Amino acid sequence: MPTILIADDEPALRRLVRVTLDTGRIRLVEAADGDAALAAAQAEHPDLVLLDWSMPGRTGIEVARALREDPDTAKIPIVMLTARTLPADRDAADEVKIDAYMTKPFSPRALLDLVRERFGPEALLA
Amino acid sequence: MSTPAGQTNLTLERENADRVLIAFETDRDGVLRRWSEGGHRVLGFAASELIGQSPPFAPPWPGHADWAVVAGAEDLVDATVVWTDREGGPHELAVSTTTFLDADGHPDGVLFSARDISQVSRDREQLAVYAKEMLDSYGRELHAFADLEQSYRNTVEALAVAVESKDSTTGGHIRRVSRLGALLAQAHLGDAARDPQLEYGFLLHDVGKLAVPDAVLSKAGALSSDEWRFIRQHPVEGARILAAVPFLAGAVDVVLHHHERWDGTGYPDGLAGEEIPIGARLFAIADTIDAMTSDRPYRSGLPLAAAIDEVVRLAGTQFDPACVGTLTRIEEDHLSALLEHHDA
């Protein structure tokens, strides 16, 4: 069963992502700030991280950079899920080699497509 | 300060309130007298930058550009405003005002309190995206379901045409008998007749004839007992053909039992009365009406009224009396329109 880490300081957003992906065939782990996100990623080795940008403690970009710099976590796929939409923001995200960039408000269909492409349709058959 | 999952926490804790509530006080001229910690945190201005002057975030109120006017107005109580922070970033805020009175009861300054509702707006936008996509998905699901149903129907009709082309003496029979069967089923069963499996059964009732040798099907004279065995076997052959197709499982009732008789003397299983599935009981009537009213090389068809009389005569022996009763309650014009032989 794939593990997805949902890192966002907004409880409502974490809950929304959780109910969207809660098929019983995906393990969902949550982190409410940047430090907790980094710790959870190091401990759980998730198969995907959905990473908010603006969080208390480390920002999402700082978390992504820390994950990339550690060989143990460098290959964990990271999807930035953020309200920041400026081209400069995307450039900054590209610099730390994130895997995908989704802007809020996010499309649940796009999120489901992304999960299906990574983990196969069976992950989404509730 | 985390909220337990699934629990809504509507009260702000002290520390949190100080962080997020923007509160400040102006005199009647709109000059700022006091500034809160939350104002500092959310908008970035320090008290020392603001006290003694009009607040720099503007416009102070929708439709008003002057803090003095806003501070002096009695009817400006609450509004949604967009104020810019020290860095120029916009904040959507719900703001309300309270007027202070001095010792003589005269207005003496205004308290502004505002809460950042940007997150509420973002939540609403997110919800709107979900709602729209859910509607899109529902629409796609309906289309996909309709397409699937149409595909089933097209497949069934193609198979029915293949059967008909093999048995050329009965041109148009399948279409007529299916329409007649559907009419009877509608009259007898009401909404339950909407199950497409019934109509699939009607269309495919003779699919087993694909397994009957052409020489037997087209033989003009009397059949030998071996040839009769083939004919009597066609419902079983039909059910066998459909057994491989799960979406036609409900059609098998009609295919397998459309030659059963109410008195138990039919084939292949000799079922009697209500042991015979209702679709097959109704279909047997439609099949007989069409056969009797159709011309054959060796005879011309009966008038519809005579065919109906014959079916009524056979109620309780060959046919379910209740189904026959339904037939007799349908207007004859309605039946004859369905049985138009020239459009076969």
Residue B254: the pLDDT is 96
Residue B13: the pLDDT is 67
CA angle (B138, B142, B145) in 5-degree steps: 135
Residue B19: the pLDDT is 67
Residue scoring higher pLDDT (A107 or B194):
A107
Q: What is each CA distance from B3 to A38, B9, B166, in whole angstroms? A: 21, 7, 73
Q: Which residues of A touch B126 (CB under 8 A)?
A: 13, 16, 104-106
Question: Rounded CA gap, A2 and A44, in Å?
Answer: 11
Identify which of B3, B5, B126 has the shortest CB distance to residue A104.
B126
Question: Rounded CA gap, A113 and A118, in Å?
Answer: 9
* Residue ranges of chain B whose pLDDT lies below 70: 1-19, 168-171, 341-344
Chain A interface includes B129 (CB < 8 A):
yes
Helix axes B321-329, B173-189, angle to 10 degrees: 100
Dihedral angle sign, alpha carbons of residues A48, A50, A53, A59: negative
Chain B interface includes A10 (CB < 8 A):
yes
The residue whose two tokens read 């499309």 is A107
Which two tokens mark B80? 């949604």
DSSP A122: G
CA angle (B33, B37, B40) in 5-degree steps: 85
Chain A interface includes B100 (CB < 8 A):
no
Q: Which residues of B touch A84 (CB under 8 A)?
A: none
The secondary structure element, H or E, covering residue B187 is helix B173-189
Question: Rounded CA gap, B42 and B60, in Å?
Answer: 16
Residue B168: the pLDDT is 64
Residue A76: the pLDDT is 97
Cross-chain Cβ contact B129/A107 below 8 Å? yes
Cross-chain Cβ contact A105/B2 below 8 Å? no
Nearest to B180 by CA among B11, B17, B341, B52: B341
What type of residue sits at position B302? L
Chain B interface includes A118 (CB < 8 A):
no
Identify which of B2, B126, B137 has the shortest CB distance to residue A105.
B126
Question: Which value does ipTM take for this structure?
Answer: 0.84
Chain B interface includes A31 (CB < 8 A):
no
Burial-class residue B123 by CB neighbours within 10 Å (0-12, 13-18, 19+).
middle
Task: Count the neighbouring beta carbons within 10 Å of the beta carbon of residue A73.
Answer: 17
- pTM: predicted TM-score of the whole model, two decimal places: 0.66
The model's pLDDT over A39-95, given as tens digits with 9 standing for 90+, comes to 999 999 999 999 999 998 999 999 999 999 999 999 999 999 999 888 899 999 999
Q: Which residues lie below 8 Å from residue B93, measured CB to CB, with a gap of 6+?
A: B22, B80, B81, B82, B83, B114, B115, B116, B117
Residue A54, SS3?
A: coil
Nearest to A50 by CA among A60, A59, A42: A60
Q: Which residues lie below 8 Å from residue B54, measured CB to CB, with a gap of 6+?
A: B26, B30, B31, B32, B67, B68
The model's pLDDT over B155-186, given as tens digits with 9 standing for 90+, comes to 999 999 888 887 766 668 888 999 999 999 99
